[in-house]
Each structure stands twice: as structure tokens, then as C-alpha cells.
A and B are shown apart, each in its own frame.
Chain A
Amino acid sequence: MLKIALAKGRLGEAAIKQFQAIGLADVVDLDSRKLIFRDAGMEYLLLKPSDVITYVQNGIADLGVVGSDVIQESGYEVYELMDMAFGKCKFSVAAPKGLEDVLMNTELKVATKYPNVTRDYFADKDLTIIPLMGSVELAPVAGLADCIVDIVETGKTLEANDLVVIEDICSVSARLICNKVSYRFNKAKVVDMVEALRSLS
């Protein structure tokens, strides 16, 4: 039996649509409060987006669909089998309007929900990372940080808070991930699934 970890919310909905298009996940009912669904040969777990990778890395789930932002931040080793081509956005550095040259400073205070991604990107800077759980855009406006590292989809939240993107780090999208050992044991099934998903696009 293959276990698939899915994120609750928009990412999960888009993933379920794709799985349903290849004849899977019909049993999943997002309106119910259930977190686990089973049908012949498959089990689906509904999790908080950032926990999907934890379940897959530890082998509790064989496969999962998760944003590449979460993979990058976690540093976990899983196979990234395919780009699901939804949940597209990017990792960017943003600063208040008028302070776009902030990266010229040798010392830098960066507020972020992604400390590991930030540390990797600014490896050669004297960096102070201010980890936050949310409303990151407020940090430079309120004087807590010089700039932020965050995922940017439309840029509207940045704009509403007088911030501008000063550098793009990389693009982000949903990925189908697989536990490395479970990939070895279930290769035939996994290959068939990936090929079916690929044929959708």
C-alpha cells in the first residue's frame, strides 16, 4: 500500500485534482474533518503543509506533495520526482521603498520565516537573522529588520506595505516528493504514477 501525504489548503486541493485526474484520491473528502482516507491500495494523509515533508522523510508516508520552499528550508533529504507546476511563486528579498541599496551594507538584519534559506543565500554576509512566524512584511517597516526574505506570489502584500523586491532568490512550486527507501521498494508503482501525472500536462 502506498501512503501519500497531502497539504491541507490550496496546495492540497490542487494536488488532489491532479491525482483524481489519473483515477486516484476519489475517496478524499476535504469538507469532512477526517485526516486519513483509504481506498484499495492507497492511503491519503491530510497534514499541515510544512509537516508533509517530515512524514515523507521519516518514511511514514511514501509520497507527498509539498512546496519547494518547504523542502529547501527543511534541509531534509527526499527525492523530488516532479514539478507539479502549481503553487508557483518565488523566494525574494524585499526592502522598504527608497532603501533598495540595503544589500550594500556589510552587516544585515533580515526578518524571515525561512532562516535556513536566508543563511544559505547570504552566506558571505555578516548576517543577523530575525526568525518570525508571520506578518514578515511588517518587520522592516517597524524597524525590526533591514529587509525580508519571503515567498512572493503577486507582490500585493509587499506593495501594500511599501516594500519592493530587490533580488529574486529562486522560483518555487509544488513538488511530488518520495521517501528515498520507499522509492527503492515501490519503484514500479511510483514510476507508473509519475508517468500518469506527467501525461496530464
Chain B
Amino acid sequence: MKKIDKMMSRLKKNNRARQNMTDRMSRWGYELIEPSYFEPYDDYIQCEGRASKRSTIKVINNRGGVEILRPDVTLNIIKQLSGMIQDEEVKLCYDTTVFDSETTIRQRRQIGAEYLGASSLGADIEIMRLALSLVKDMPNIFVVGHTKYVSGLLGAVDCTEGRRKSIELMIYNKQINALKDMLETCRVPEDIQVKFMMLIDVKHYDLSDYKKGYMNSDMSMAIEDLTHLQEIMDETITFDLGLISSFDYYDGIIFKAYGKGVNEPILKGGRYDSLSKLYGKTFPAVGFSLELELWMRSVNYVENCAG
């Protein structure tokens, strides 16, 4: 195949995928929004746990103020809508680029949806079903967790914020030995240590196993939410109570979808009710974003393996 033909066929495939996804979201009642390219640097640093400061692309405006090119979409949308939402439910979706600069300046296309103003588990389920529908045609693993389980457990540990972050990172990487040592150093009681180890232990657990032993109200709330989910959703999903998101603003259900041949999650999402606080009136929100290049890579990988 000639180079130009290859390029055209790739483009066609890409555009078809984008069209299918945005059409689907539109059929589900999600209106396409075009977020702003820029956001003030001061807003960005107020909200920890997004893209690292170093990796954002800074732009100087004509008043000498620093702005950044959007590193993600969610905060942008929240800001646009803050002050407008009272108690309405708003469903939005996007198909747009985000920017970062790890080694070189990169732009990535993200497709996603946000369900604002609804705090119910029903909204969580709708968003997850929409997310699942975007990856349903490829082999995927859809993992669901809940931030309140880990945060509840961490709340039971008497240690510095720095150590808490280290513990989270150890759970994230399933570092059994390092975690054991750290829990010993922090003098964490045995019954709580057991619960930490369950988060990273390589065993088959049922959701009900996580109820045994030490529990507090946040942890119970997480298990309750996930148990309801399990009863209602008949899609193929797996649960991982040790699922950690690098975005600090998630607060409730979180989920990630993995595809074959790609080394990072293709899709990430969750509930982030507290994010709108940055701009005044708080409203609940749940959403996800899909990395189109990763999605494409996985589709191609599976096709190549089959053919």
C-alpha cells in the first residue's frame, strides 16, 4: 500500500470511530461541548493531583499572566458551568485534544462524557454503561473501585500526609514488602494491616470478603455502593478495592478500562463531587475520558493478532 493510501485509510478509520462515539453519546442525551483551550495557571495549581506542574504547557497572555493549555477537560467544563447549575441535571460530552509536555510537546485526543448535577448511583451506572459501550467491540477488562474504601482505611492510620501518599503509591504498585514495612513503621494495628494487605494481595476475593474485620463508615459506604452496582449491572466488570487514581479529585466510584496491546488504561473515570467547590457552588458530577490513540492502538493490535 502507498504511504498516502495508508494515511487516508488510517484517517478514515479514526474519523469513523470518533463519529460513532459522539453519535452514541448524543443518542444517550449528551450534548457536545467545546471546552476552552486555556486556563489560568493559578486555578490549575489550586487543584492538586492533576497533570504534574512540570508537564503543563504555559502560555503568557498580553497582561503578563500565565495560562496553561488544557491538560484535561473536566475542570474546564466544571468552570464553564459553575454559577449556572442550580439543581438541574446536565449531560455533556466532548471530542477534543489535551496537551502535555513530558519529553516533547504532545497532543492527545480525548473523548468523554460528564453527567453533572446527579449524585445517585443511577448516574454512576449510566456513565459506566456509556463508557462500556465505547469499548465493547474490543477485548477489554473494566475494573471498578471506590475511593472511599482506601481513603477510609488510610484515615485509620496515624501518620503524616507524605507517608499516606507513599502508602497509596505502594498499593498502586502492589509493593507487598514495602507496604508491610511502612505499616510496621507507622505502628498500624494488626487488624487494619490485614485490610491493607487484602488490597494488594494476589488472591481471589469476593466483595463480601472486604466487609470482614476492621471497617469504618467510609469503607462501609464504598462496599454498599459497589454491592448495589454488582446487583444491578449485568455487564462484565471486575472489582478492585485497591484501584487508585492519580487524580486526587475523584471521590466515590472510580473505574478504568484496559485493552490488549496497550500498556495503560484506555479509559478512566469516576465521581468527582468536590471539584466544583473550587468555583463556588458545589454540584455532584461523574464522568469519564477515553484516550482515542490508545483505543485505536488496541483495536489495531487485536486485528493484527487475528489476521
A residues bordering B, Cβ < 8 Å?
57-59, 68, 77-83, 173, 175, 179-181, 184-185, 187-188, 190-191, 194-195
- Establish whether residues B263 and A78, one from each chain, have CB atoms under 8 Å apart when the complex forms: no
Instruction: Output the least CB separation between B99 and chain A (Å).
Output: 23
Kindly state whether residue B262 has any CB partner on chain A within 8 Å. yes
| Chain A to chain B contacts (Cβ below 8 Å), 28 pairs | A58-B263, A59-B261, A68-B177, A77-B172, A77-B173, A78-B173, A79-B174, A80-B173, A80-B174, A80-B176, A81-B174, A81-B202, A82-B176, A83-B177, A181-B258, A181-B259, A181-B262, A181-B263, A181-B264, A184-B141, A184-B238, A185-B139, A185-B141, A187-B238, A188-B204, A191-B202, A194-B202, A195-B203
B91 CB contacts on chain A under 8 angstroms: none
Most buried by B among A80, A175, A179, A195: A80
Q: How far is the CA of A182 from the CA of B221 in the complex (A)?
A: 30
- Within the assembled complex, what's the spacing in Å between the Cα atoms of A139 and B297? 47
Q: A197 to B266: give the CA distance in the assembly, Å.
A: 32
Cross-chain contact of A80 among B175, B204, B262 (Cβ < 8 A): B175
Q: Give which listed residue, A82, A173, A181, contacts B202 with CB less than 8 A.
A: A82
Alpha-carbon gap, A87 to B99, bound state (A): 43
What's the minimum C-beta distance from B301 to chain A, rounded to whole angstroms? 10
- Interface status of B70 (Cβ within 8 A of chain A): no
A14, B211: Cα distance in complex, Å: 39
In the bound complex, residues from chain A placing their C-beta under 8 Å from that of B17 are: none
- Asked if B154 is at the interface (CB within 8 A of a chain A CB), the reply is no
Q: Which of A83, A179, A184, A188 has the most CB of B within 10 A?
A: A184
Interface flag for B143 (CB, 8 Å)? yes
Q: Which of A80, A83, A184, A194 contacts B258 (CB 8 A)?
A: A184
A188 to B141 Cα, complex, angstroms: 13
| Interface of chain B: mostly helix, strand, loop or mixed | loop
B258 touches A191 (CB 8 A): no
Who on chain A is nearest to B266 by CB?
Answer: A181
- B260 and A185 contact, CB distance less than 8 A: yes
Chain B residues lying within 8 Å of A175, measured Cβ to Cβ, are 177
Distance between A190 CB and nearest chain B CB, rounded to angstroms? 7
Contact check, B176 vs A184: say whether CB atoms are below 8 A apart: no
Cβ–Cβ < 8 Å partners of A181 in chain B: 258-259, 262-264
Contacts of A191 in B (CB 8 A): 202-204
Chain B interface residue count: which class? 20 to 34
Taking the closest CB of chain A, its distance from the CB of B96, in whole angstroms, is 25
A123 → chain B closest CB, angstroms: 12
Residues of A within 8 A of B139 (CB): 185
| CB nearest to B203 among chain A residues | A191
- Tell me whether A83 and B176 are in contact in the complex, defined as CB-CB below 8 angstroms, given that A58-B263, A184-B258, A185-B258 are known contacts: yes
- Interface flags, B153-190, vs A, CB<8A=1, else 0: 00000000000000000001111111000000000000
Residues of A within 8 A of B204 (CB): 188, 191
> What is the CB-to-nearest-CB distance from A80 to chain B, in angstroms, rounded to a whole number?
5
Q: A59-B261, A79-B173, A184-B143 are in contact. List 5 more A-B contacts (CB 8 A).
A: A57-B263, A58-B263, A181-B258, A181-B262, A184-B141
Give Cα A68–Cα B175 distance, bound, in whole angstroms: 10
- What's the minimum C-beta distance from B177 to chain A, rounded to whole angstroms? 5
Q: Nearest residue in A to B200 (C-beta to C-beta)? A: A79
* Whole-angstrom distance between the Cβ of A186 and the nearest chain B Cβ: 10
Bound complex: CA of A132 vs CA of B78, how far in Å? Answer: 50
Residues of B within 8 A of A68 (CB): 177
Closest A residue to B240 using CB positions: A184
Q: How far is the CA of A187 from the CA of B204 in the complex (A)?
A: 9
A191 to B200, CA, bound (A): 12
A77–B173 CA distance with the chains assembled, in angstroms: 7
Closest to A184 in B: B141
Which are the 10 A-B pairs with shortest beta-carbon distances? Answer: A79-B174, A184-B141, A194-B202, A184-B258, A80-B175, A181-B258, A59-B263, A81-B202, A83-B177, A191-B202
